Amino acid sequence: MTKVPKGNITPERSKIEPILTEFEHGRISAPMALKKLHQAYQKPDRVAQDHGTTDAPYGLMSREQVLAPLYRLVGLSTIKRMTEEMFAHAVVQRRRREFGLQADKTVTHMVFTGRPGTGKTLVARTLGSIFAELGILSKGAMVEVERADLVGEYVGQTAQKTKACLDRAAGGVLFIDEAYALARGGARDFGREAVDTLVKGMEDKRDDLIVILAGYESEMQDFLDLNPGLRSRFPITVSFPDYSERELLAIAKEMVNERDYIMTPQAINVFLTILRHERLEPSFGNGRTVRNIIESAIRRQALRLSDQLEATRSDLMELCERDFSGGDVHDRLPHARPNECW
């Protein structure tokens, strides 16, 4: 009987032969072949752990696996396509490096424009972890800041505050919400200094930091026009359109589902009525409004069931018409009236 070395497993021939064939046909380099063979000899749990490090990013993972957190989000086709391109670029650059060819480690700063609740923050956070998986960033965590975090009140404070944010974000994503507020105070405001410090910090940390500026479309365009140096440093602008009714419903179902609840068909109808009304309001917050409606319904369901000791598992899961029709948002509807559901 073959003695298996401690801590290792014997890989099946079916795992080794394709690696050797790929190497023989010049499709993978010697270091890549060795790495794959090494992984084939490791325990499966060890291989899984390796995926989280920059040393072996996406080595055995498909595009679908790496981008799964993004694919799970509703809509957002432009950003999904763009990330697929970045994935392809990272894979090819890595292969080129293995063959000794020139390869760049492109860190792409971006501008996200769109109205509230269109997913800008959520996507920035998701991209951070994907870029870490791809080895583009070493950590992938996101630091979210706004004007007050970057701009100080007296001379010298702004550069310090902005540098501190850049340091905290190093290895991940620095997400600057309502970035146009940096231009708010005019030419003598410290916002200018924050932008200059930011640009310098981006250059210094360019291999391991992605800066994302976010805000409303027109304000962001004005801001970039006022700061010509910024435009070339933020080559990609992604606009986040308002979600369609269908997408908002899909977001709602997703939120309900991940919290272990379900909506009855009648509840869905009431939800849609509320949504149609809310969409006409200037304060409409897309995904955020959906979250508020759902969380309000969950609170109302809790109130409805709190003294029902005989409530079953399915009762505890079900959000019914009444949970929506009596919520804070529904109270603002012109024809708000409570409905019974039991």
Ligand X SMILES: Nc1ncnc2c1ncn2[C@@H]1O[C@H](COP(=O)(O)OP(=O)(O)OP(=O)(O)O)[C@@H](O)[C@H]1O
CB of 30 to ligand X, least distance (A): 42
CB of 144 to Mg ion, least distance (A): 8
For residues 199 and 162, the answer to whether their CB atoms sit within 8 Å is no
Buried-exposed string 143-153: b where 16+ CB fall within 10 A, e elsewhere? bbbebebbbbe
Nearer to ligand X, 54 or 221 (CB): 221
Nearer to Mg ion, 58 or 112 (CB): 112
Residue 75, interface with ligand X (CB under 6 A)?
Answer: yes
Show the binding pattern over residues 8-47: x = contacts ligand X (CB under 6 A), - = does not: ----------------------------------------
Element (H, E) at 228: helix 228-233
Element (H, E) at 192: helix 191-204
Residue 116, interface with ligand X (CB under 6 A)?
Answer: yes
CB of 281 to ligand X, least distance (A): 14
- Total chain residues near Mg ion (CB under 5 A): 1
Residue 201 partner contact from ligand X, Mg ion, none using kind-dependent CB cut-offs of 5 to 8 Å: none
Closest CA to 173 of 121, 228, 118: 121
Q: Which residue is nearest to Mg ion (CB)?
A: 121
Residue 128, interface with ligand X (CB under 6 A)?
Answer: no
The torsion angle over the Cα atoms of residues 70, 71, 77 and 82, rounded to 10 degrees, is 50
For residues 305 and 315, the answer to whether their CB atoms sit within 8 Å is yes
Q: Which of 189, 254, 295, 315 binds ligand X (CB under 6 A)?
A: 254
Residue 162, interface with Mg ion (CB under 5 A)?
Answer: no
Residue 117, interface with ligand X (CB under 6 A)?
Answer: yes
Task: Choose the stretch contacting ligand X; rule: CB under 6 A; options: 17-25, 110-118, 196-204, 333-341.
Answer: 110-118
Nearer to ligand X, 11 or 69 (CB): 69
Residue 172, interface with ligand X (CB under 6 A)?
Answer: no
Task: Choose the stretch contacting ligand X; rule: CB under 6 A; options: 8-16, 27-35, 115-123, 262-270.
Answer: 115-123
For residues 202 and 109, the answer to whether their CB atoms sit within 8 Å is yes
Residue 197 partner contact from ligand X, Mg ion, none using kind-dependent CB cut-offs of 5 to 8 Å: none
Nearer to ligand X, 19 or 74 (CB): 74
DSSP 331: G
Q: Which residue is nearest to ligand X (CB)?
A: 287
In one letter, which amino acid is 137?
A: L
Q: What gap in Å lies between CA 289 and CA 297, rounded to an integer? A: 12
CB of 221 to ligand X, least distance (A): 16
For residues 210 and 128, the answer to whether their CB atoms sit within 8 Å is yes
Residue 118, interface with Mg ion (CB under 5 A)?
Answer: no
Residue 114, interface with ligand X (CB under 6 A)?
Answer: yes
Cα angle, residue 192 at apex, residues 189 and 196 outer, rounded to 5°: 155
Residue 118, interface with ligand X (CB under 6 A)?
Answer: yes
Nearer to Mg ion, 121 or 197 (CB): 121
Q: Which of 39, 83, 121, 129 binds Mg ion (CB under 5 A)?
A: 121
* Dihedral sign for Cα atoms in the order 62, 67, 68, 71: negative
* List of residues 6+ apart from 98 with CB closer than 8 A: 28, 29, 31, 32
Task: Choose the stretch contacting ligand X; rule: CB under 6 A; options: 8-16, 69-77, 183-191, 229-237.
Answer: 69-77
Chain center to CA of 44: 28
- In angstroms and rounded to an integer, the radius of gyration of the C-alpha atoms of the chain is 25
Q: What gap in Å lies between CA 49 and CA 191, rounded to an integer? A: 43
Task: Give the residues lining the site for Mg ion (CB under 5 A).
Answer: 121
Task: Give the residues lining the site for ligand X (CB under 6 A).
Answer: 73-76, 114, 116-122, 177, 251, 254, 287-288, 291
